[in-house]
Amino acid sequence: MSVNKEIKKITTHTIQKMKESGEKIAMLTSYDYSFAKLIDGAGIDIILVGDSASNVMAGHETTLPITLDQMIYHAASVVRGAKRCLVVVDLPFGAYQGNSKEALSSTIRIMKETGAHAVKLEGGEEVIESIKRIISAGVPVMGHLGLTPQSIYKFGTYTVRAKEEAEAEKLQRDARLLEEAGCFALVLEKIPAVLAKNVSTSLHIPTIGIGAGGYCDGQVLVMHDMLGITSEFKPRFLRQYLNLSETVSGAVQQYINDVKGGAFPSATEQY
Ligand code: KIV
């Protein structure tokens, strides 16, 4: 299916209509102006300024170290590049877990200082009060259940979540609570496809999966992974559309050779 050029600007209402009409939602992460401009121009529905910036932009092992100020810097850059898609920003670890007042003030900073359209935060029942407070201030919220990387030290591993019945039941309960609280969409990360199917068919709001199978209403990937910039990360769910690390290395090696061999710049590349 090609990009619907009729849609001038994607909103949370467009996303809801996509679920209702059966059109799948395509979401990718982005963290800077140049890539946001490219991805938006290609027709992506949603850009997520993910806290995965902590990994792929800053080189941290987990998403925990990234700060609210750093997320705001990334998000403001993305918003300057994205003209058509919906821009959703992750609330980073430590910016909302304290209480709902803290969650709202972090959200207000993101909305005021970046121009983004919505926020995402991880968790179910334990963050419901914060979600309600943010939504009551007029800010759309995307939920995130399953493997929630900000809780990696609780989980101990990045393996598939909710394989056991008790965890699967809690996830289904949490998904209902998030919908009732007013979330406009829900990310399901690394859970069995059958569970994601149950959640997706029982909710009215769209689900967006990453490692959650093909029954979700949309899919999200970390841009650096799908473009093959991060060459060492190859989970089963990842489809790598390019091998950019090889392409970039090749280009850089060629440049080095040209500089050292005197082939660059040529007569036409100077004044
Ligand atoms: O931060 C991120 O990139 C995310 C996606 C993996 C959903 O939360």
Q: Residue 2 above 80 pLDDT?
A: no
Say if residue 243 is exposed, middle or buried (CB neighbours under 10 Å; 0-12, 13-18, 19+). Answer: middle
Q: What is the pLDDT of residue 232?
A: 86
CA of 90 to the centre of ligand 1 (A): 8
Q: Residue 5 above 70 pLDDT?
A: no
Closest residue CA from atom 5 of ligand 1: 50
Which of 25, 47, 48 should be mutated for ligand 1, with most atoms under 8 A from CB? 48
Q: Residue 1 above 90 pLDDT?
A: no
CA neighbor of 45 nearest in space, from 13, 6, 82, 85: 85
CA neighbor of 217 nearest in space, from 240, 238, 181, 187: 187
Atom in ligand 1 nearest the alpha carbon of residue 51? 1
Which letter does DSSP use for residue 98 in this model? Answer: S
Q: What is the pLDDT of residue 231?
A: 83
Where is 188: in which H helix or E strand?
A: strand 185-189
Q: What is the pLDDT of residue 8?
A: 86
Per residue in 228-260, pLDDT tens? 999 888 999 999 999 999 999 999 999 999 999
pTM of the entire structure?
Answer: 0.97
CA of 74 to the centre of ligand 1 (A): 14
* Overall CATH class of domain 3-240: alpha beta
Catalytic residues, by residue number, are 189
Mean pLDDT of 150-157: 96
CA of 255 to the centre of ligand 1 (A): 34
Q: What percent of the chain has pLDDT over 70?
A: 99
Is the distance from CB of 208 to CB of 26 less than 8 angstroms?
A: no
CA of 122 to the centre of ligand 1 (A): 10
Per residue in 55-94, pLDDT tens? 999 999 999 999 999 999 999 999 999 999 999 999 999 9
| Residues framing ligand 1 (Cβ under 6 A) | 29, 48, 50-52, 90, 187, 189, 210, 220, 222
CA of 236 to the centre of ligand 1 (A): 16
Closest residue CA from atom 4 of ligand 1: 50
The rounded mean pLDDT for the chain is: 97
Per residue in 160-202, pLDDT tens? 999 999 999 999 999 999 999 999 999 999 999 999 999 999 9
Which of 29, 54, 63, 119 should be mutated for ligand 1, with most atoms under 8 A from CB? 29
Which of 66, 189, 221, 226 should be mutated for ligand 1, with most atoms under 8 A from CB? 189
Q: What percent of the chain has pLDDT over 90?
A: 96
Domain ranges of the chain: 3-240, 244-271
